Amino acid sequence: MVNSGFSGYAEGDVSPARFTFTWLRVVESSLSAKNTHFSITVTKGPHDELVDFVALLLPEAMLSIAGLLALAGFSTASIVKNFTSSNINVNRGIISELSSGCPTTGTASCGTPAGTNTCCFETPGGLLLQTQFWDTSPSTGPSNSWTIHGLWPDECNLSFQENCDSSRAYTGISTAYGPGRQLDPQLHEYRFWKNDPNDGSDEELWEHEWETHGTCMSTLDVSCLPSGSPKGAEAVAFFETVVGLFQTLPTYEWLANQGITPSSSTTHTLASLTAAIKAEYGFTPSFDCDGSDLSGASYYFHLIGSVIDGKFVPINAPESGSCGSTGIKYLTKTGSPVTTTSTSTTTKSTSTTTTKTTSGGGGSTGTPIPLPATAFIQASTGGGLLTLGTWSTQTLATMHLTGTSNSFTMVSSKGMYWNCGASGGELTCGSGVSLGTFTAVQSGSQLLLASGGSTAFSSDGVPSGSTVFPVFTGSSHAQAYTLAIVAT
């Protein structure tokens, strides 16, 4: 049963699958990992900050919410199912608060615990490797960053298991999971967890890494999750941890700090590469090569506690990778964007500051304005875009931009993350929206959002207070304006 107190009103973009309130306080809820996925949008006051809220609820609880909506004045309120049980039925916004309940002090994996609670002691795969790619043919990811491969639970004797539970070979990860609040503002899934396009989509790589390695982690067994956790919660925790750990291991930056940068002609010794990382990080990784070309790095850890929220203890690599001792080429990536956005990232157990560089293209006059990684989208006549892509004078959503000014994608966030796209003449963001491609056009000192080559947008009215309006491409509606990309 759900008990709630609220006073509310609907925003202008209310649809049967989404309801918006100024305040909704859920005091007690009955949650269950049923194979039904519902979406509700609520407003968390008093500043009308939108929170997109996806939950797995018992049908009885959903009916209770529908009844509460009716009491609030939504006489025609209905709840619409918008996902199927074939995907991971979980959204990162809920799982961000998942806790293992395990201590982060005591014996690390590969040690001898006082008592073996495999939910809090990773075994038999107690030697964890955060693996990274340096892909140059074809190039993947930013030209100034290595990319994520995965997190592997090797056994302490360097053997390993794979594909440990086929019943948890989840699919539909990009739809049901999506990037989460912890990954703000860089959306590392999209930018830094890239598959070789010759091998398949990025999502196929994510699914492979979870099925092959994540299902073999004892601390991510379903029996270790808190009671009532949705289906797939352990996979979301795996993705969070992989990305968070990767953020603490800026291989490109560490090598560059020691004078080692990509080149088509320079060769290196394995000892010089290893020494460079040790000078920056304090521990040695292993390096892998494709022939003589540097292609991968592996950082080794023991773990205290759970993969969900435990402490990763770095160690020196206990074995060498596939690189030879001399003649190693650290080749230059081609075709990757380079940005100049500084990012400070805090992970579960480590704080690290990394600098990413991207370049965007351009404008017509003056000094080119680079495409920011995160931005507000502000209307020329006031206000700007909310999480669902509507025009409003309320607090604007943060938009995450991936690509260059000549071609980029946009994901909205204000608590959760939704793809944005322009389809049928309307700009929208949401869980069911296909990720669209936009361009940025420089106009004087501004960078303007463009769809289909046009910077013109329009709506049927002017927003005020809680009233918002859909955004249409082109200037055919009553109120025409442009949308500026303003870096946050």
pLDDT in tens, 127-179: 999 999 999 989 998 888 999 999 999 999 999 999 999 999 998 766 555 44
Residue 48 has pLDDT above 60, yes or no: no
Residue 260: CB atoms within 10 Å: 19
Rounded to whole angstroms, the Cα distance separating 165 from 147 reads 26
pLDDT digits (tens, 9 = 90+) for 340-396: 333 333 333 332 322 333 333 333 445 788 899 888 999 999 999 998 899 999 888
Q: Mean of the pLDDT values across residues 226-231?
A: 87
Residue 217 has pLDDT above 90, yes or no: yes
CA distances from 170 to 76, 87, 90, 116 (A): 35, 6, 11, 28
Encoded amino acid at 135, one letter:
D
Sign of torsion, CA 131 132 137 141? positive
Q: What pTM does this model have?
A: 0.55
Rounded to whole angstroms, the Cα distance separating 343 from 299 reads 22
> Is cis: bond before 46, omega within 30 of 0?
yes
DSSP state of 434: P
CA distances from 467 to 91, 159, 460, 479 (A): 28, 60, 12, 15
Burial profile 386-412: b = 16 or more Cβ within 10 angstroms, e = fewer:
bbbbbbbbbebbbbbbbbbbeebbbbb
47 vs 252, more confident: 252
CB distance 399 to 371 below 8 Å? no
Residue 55 has pLDDT above 80, yes or no: no
- Write the CB contacts of 149 (distance below 8 Å, at least 6 apart in sequence): 131, 132, 133, 209, 296
Backbone angles phi, psi at 417, to 5 degrees: -130, 130
- Nearest Cα neighbor of 319 from 379, 274, 265, 367 is 274
Residue holding tokens 């700007």? 384
CB distance 188 to 246 below 8 Å? yes
Give the percent of the chain with pLDDT over 90: 48
Q: Mean of the pLDDT values across residues 74-98?
A: 34
- By annotation, the residues acting in catalysis are 149, 209, 213
In this predicted structure, what is the pLDDT of residue 396? Answer: 87
Encoded amino acid at 480, one letter:
A
The enclosing H or E element of 27 equals strand 23-28
Helix and strand numbers (H, E) in the chain are 8, 27
* Superfamily for domain range 127-329: Ribonuclease T2-like (3.90.730.10)
CB distance 303 to 312 below 8 Å? yes
Instruction: Categorize the per-residue pLDDT at 67 as very low, low, confident or very high, splitting at 50, 70 and 90.
Output: very low
DSSP state of 233: H
CATH class of 374-487: mainly beta
Domain positions in the chain: 3-85, 127-329, 374-487
